[in-house]
Amino acid sequence: MSEVYRYAAIVEYNGACFHGWQKQKHHNEPTVQAALEAAISKVANHPVEVACAGRTDAGVHATRQVIHFDSTSKRTDYGWIMGINTNTPPAVSVQWLQQVDGDFHARFKARARCYRYLINNSKYRQALQHDQMTWWRYPLDAERMQQAANHLLGEHDFTSFRAKDCQAKTPVKTMHRIEVRQWGDLIMVELEASAFLYHMVRNIMGVLIPVGEGHKEPDWMKDVLDARSRLAAGVTAPGDGLHFVGVRYPEQFEIPSQPFGPLILEPALSLTR
């Protein structure tokens, strides 16, 4: 019997081109998982199933999604990457890959996940990157948004920010960090937590945006959190500006966790840190 090898990879994709991460059993919409499995299977010369660190919704992007797969085939890291990227659509690409221990699991070994939500806060909509940033024409106050966001730090029951179709076993998660930063018309909200519930980030943004507009006070975030009811929160913000940008694992697995994306922001971030 052939030996089975486990590989981990970091994947980037434009979610606007896919109907979410998870492959569909009875639908023909393109998904990231289906595209990757088809490409990897072709390179491996046998069917391959892929697991990811965090499933993303339709329209949501990723710069550092982590996946793993098993194969009896031996290839160089470069050979895997070039072979996979040759067979995937232009909107999905492997950025890093290496063989890992068999006990590594992209989802269950993750200690924290990080998302970024990007807002174009210009009066006029953008033509470039229109599907990678959420356009919000009304002025937002980043400082007020940060005051509201601070209420989410630590371990909480995030039921108020949980979509009805969420399949997580518990709504209790730990928010390690949440930062609101602004450069001109660009506003970025970065969130790092132990894990995220279905639509959790977009529902948090549905509270932060009215606070930023001045329609709600920053303490409204605490009221929503304490209510433990989805009815207490605001609307679900659009998925255009949401990016899955990183996963943290125990160091033993040697999975890169920096730099976070979207990469277009990294020069600006390095100058402001």
Residues catalogued as catalytic? 57
User: Which tokens in the block code for residue 247?
Assistant: 């996963």
